[in-house]
Amino acid sequence: FKKPEGFYPASRAGLSGRRTGGQPRKRLLLDFPFCFFTADPAVIAPQDPTLMIGSSLTATCSVNSDLHLRAEDLYWTLNGRRLPPESYKVLNGTTLSVALANLNGSRQQSGDNLVCHSRDGSILAGSCLYVGLPPEKPVNITCWSKNMKDLTCKWAPGTEGETYLHTNYTLKYKLRWYGRDNTCQDYHTAGQYSCHIPKDLALFTPYEIWVEASNRLGMAVSEVFMLDILDVVTTDPPADVTVSRVGDLEDQLSVRWSSPPALKDFLFQAKYQIQYRVEDSAEWKVVDDVGNQTSCRLAGLRPGTVYFVQVRCNPFGIYGSKKAGIWSDWSNPTAASTPRSERVPGVCDPKSGEQNSTLRRELKQFFGWVKKHAYGCSNLSIKLYDQWRVWLQKSHKTRNQVGKDPSPIPYCSVPRGRWAGSVELERQISSFPPVSACST
Amino acid sequence: FVNFLSPINCNNLLSSSSPLSQQEVAVKIKQTHNLTVLLKQCSEQLLAEYVHHQGEPFNSPDFNPPAMAVPGLPSPPVPPETWLALSDGERLWHLAKAYAVLPGLLGSMWRQQVELNPLASELHQQLEAAARQCRGLAGNLGSIMGSLGVPRPPPPSPVLGTAPASTFLIKLSGYHMCRLHQDWATRSHDALVLLGTKYPL
């Protein structure tokens, strides 16, 4: 036969080129020019046992008599570590046993590798051990329904630590007083221990929900959790959130929104919450007592400051449910700025040159920001009026062109809220006669 | 299979590729060469990822497993030195034969690992990618061979035999599969390098 050199690092005992007795193996491929065992070099029993942590196991390795190996020539390893010879016992000429005690949890989910070696180190046979704990009852089941259309549930595994064995979780549900058990199919949608039921949910009748955990050592079932879909409804954030000034009032902004579109016709009793922060702070202030209206006025704000505002909705009381619903996500932040009354409308004294350069620096920073955020604005041009005679133009197409007639900034797909600041800017500059530029 | 410049060979009537120009063939060879570079790299990573999840002794550097019979496993016909001495056509022929079978074997391995190591998502992804890359290479090889008039090997016979019964044997067969995948990737890379010298861009 032809031995494939440099191909498999075949162990000496594992590939001796002898055929054992019995029928010649049918050659399935033409490219198998070398001989190999039709029977394994040795056999370990038991194969794939499953055991509790701390238990004991006696395993045996029986070598194929054709190998002419003696039991005394064998040794054992577990996960690569050699087991002490004191735990071995020669049962007969070709069989060696090993006694394992007080087993630790499996090191990998695919099982611990218990291997029988011949004296030169080559591997004769192996068996994978699964050592762990049975699962405990899953706990803390929480569920929510998006717009009464579906149901997502989360839970926590019962065991504080690990079971060391792969544990399968199955979420089951049924209508309380009739119907058969249903099994949730769509797992890990909201984290590792979660499942999503996308449809066919009844509304005015309670469900029983529970989670079954099972692994090789056993099964545990959580307590049954009862719920009514209408008590755990959440929805999308409110739509069309706008924030605008209240006339000239420096310390107020008016926030308006519409109820989330999916539940628009049901939200007689919904609650809303607003949170807002100043542009350069991470601290949100929450307005809690907004109630059911779709508008609110924020007061006590700082003049001349940009604010970010978000709104969210809790669809409680839907269809007469008595329980609190579940808060939606916050809407995308919307920005607006409060007016600053330092400028007297219509009059603006040209200050010293130093103020102008501060203004230019601030504006340059601002324009850099606008340019960065002006998606899709190929023709965006920003004009900066310095002295009325001279102005600088920044645009994607032309740079440093002096002396052209000013034209209004074309607005294109820039998020509405974030333009608040720059709208201010343009209005301020263009509302003054082009005599001097004023700091904003 | 010596006359590379002939148009479609009668043996290749079932081939879906039409005769390519010299330049097109060179481009295809270069593309396929790039694929074999990727395959070589990925097969190394796959082996490392695989042994990591099977535990010791699989991931020790001196792991020395016994050879085993894995049904359908396409072992290379000759040692590496002899491989380089074959003709381009012979190499392509052996490669086509191997890559007709490798995607299916890698797919079986993927299924086994999904059960054995359910949380090893990186390993699962790499196995899927490996099967996909092998399928791609098989397609490219077919196209090159069609254009060069190299006869193709017969389709593989259906593989008999069941998956290994014990977990340890499953781990072992997977290991051999990874090594084999790596070996074939190296050989395909060498073959494409040599072929590329004859069809420069």
How is A42-83 classified by DSSP, letter by letter? EEEESSS-EEETT--EEEEEEE-GGG---GGGEEEEETTEEP
- Work out the average pLDDT over B156-171: 80
Among A231, A262, A281, the domain boundary falls at A231
Chain centroid to CA A180: how far?
Answer: 33
Domain membership flag for residue B74:
yes
Domain of B142, CATH number, reads 1.20.1250.10
pLDDT, tens digit (0-9, with 9 covering 90-100), for B101-122: 999 999 999 999 999 999 899 9
Residue where a domain terminates, one of A107, A132, A157: A132
Is the Cβ–Cβ distance between A155 and A131 less than 8 Å?
no
DSSP string, A272-341: EEEEEEETT--PPEEE-TTTT-SEEEE-SPPTT-EEEEEEEEE-TTGGG--S-----PPPPPEEEE---T
Residue A200 falls inside a structural domain: yes
* A15 plus A97 within the same structural domain: yes
**Is A325 within a domain?**
no
Same domain, A177 and A74: no
Q: CA A81: distance to chain centroid?
A: 38
A5 compared with B86, residue with greater pLDDT: B86
Instruction: From chain A, pick out residues whose CB is under 8 angstroms from the CB of B179.
Output: 8
Domain that holds residue B170: 22-198
pLDDT at B12: 36
Tokens in use for B184?
A: 């074939």
What's the total number of domains in chain B?
1
Judged by CB atoms closer than 8 Å, whether chains meet at B116 and A124 is answered as no
Domain match, A64 and A190 both = no
Q: Could you give the residue ranges of the DSSP H alpha helices within chain B?
A: 22-54, 80-85, 88-116, 121-148, 167-198
Residue of chain A with shortest Cα separation from B171: A110
Q: Is residue B104 part of a domain?
A: yes
Q: Do residues A37 and A146 share a domain?
A: no
Look at chain A and report how many structural domains it folds into.
Answer: 3
In angstroms, the Cα distances linking A117 to A60, A80, B66 are 12, 11, 11
Partnered with residue A170 across adjacent β-strands are A212
Question: Which of A231, A258, A281 is the last residue before a domain boundary?
Answer: A231
- Predicted ipTM? 0.82
Q: Over range B177-186, report the average pLDDT.
A: 94
Same domain? For A17 and A111 the reply is yes
- Closest CB to B118 among A7, A48, A166: A166
Task: Select from A26, A64, A69, A110 the residue whose CB has the most chain B CBs within 10 Å, as the one to mutate to test that interface.
Answer: A110
Looking at the fold, whether A35 and A112 belong to one and the same domain comes out as: yes
Name residues 5-34 of chain A within 8 A of B (Cβ): 5-11, 13-15, 25-26, 28-29, 31-33
Across the interface, do B161 and A41 touch by the CB < 8 Å criterion?
Answer: no
Domain shared by A143 and A34, yes or no: no
Q: Is residue A243 part of a domain?
A: no
Residue A314 belongs to some domain of the structure: no
For chain A positions 350-389, those within 8 Å of chain B (CB to CB) are none
Give the model's pLDDT for residue A350: 45
Tell me what pLDDT residue A363 has.
62
- Please check whether residues A89 and A196 belong to one and the same domain: no
Confidence of residue B158 (pLDDT cuts 50, 70, 90): confident
Domain for residue A301, yes or no?
no
- A21 and A81 housed in the same domain: yes
> Is there a domain that residue A393 lies in?
yes
Note whether A82 and A174 are same-domain residues: no
pTM: 0.67
pLDDT for residue A186: 94
Containing A361, the helix (H) or strand (E) segment is helix A353-373
In a domain, B136, yes or no: yes
In a domain, B12, yes or no: no
Asked if residue B11 belongs to a domain, the reply is: no
**Is A270 inside any structural domain?**
no
pLDDT confidence of residue A368: 67
Q: What is the pLDDT of residue A354?
A: 46
Q: Which domain holds residue A163?
A: 139-231
Q: What is the pLDDT along chain A (440 residues), one digit of tens a residue?
A: 333 333 333 333 333 333 333 333 333 333 333 334 456 789 999 999 999 999 999 999 999 888 888 899 999 999 999 999 999 999 998 999 999 999 999 999 899 999 999 998 889 999 999 999 999 999 999 999 998 899 999 999 986 667 789 999 999 999 988 889 999 999 999 998 999 999 989 888 899 999 999 999 999 999 999 999 988 999 999 989 999 888 888 888 999 999 888 887 777 778 899 999 998 888 999 998 788 888 999 888 888 888 899 999 998 878 878 888 899 999 999 888 888 775 544 434 444 444 455 656 666 666 666 666 655 554 455 544 332 222 233 333 333 333 333 433 333 333 333 333 333 333 233 222 222 233 33
Residues A107 and A159 in one domain: no
Q: What is the CATH number of the domain that holds A160?
A: 2.60.40.10
Residues A35 and A102 in one domain: yes
- Would residue A85 count as lying in a domain? yes
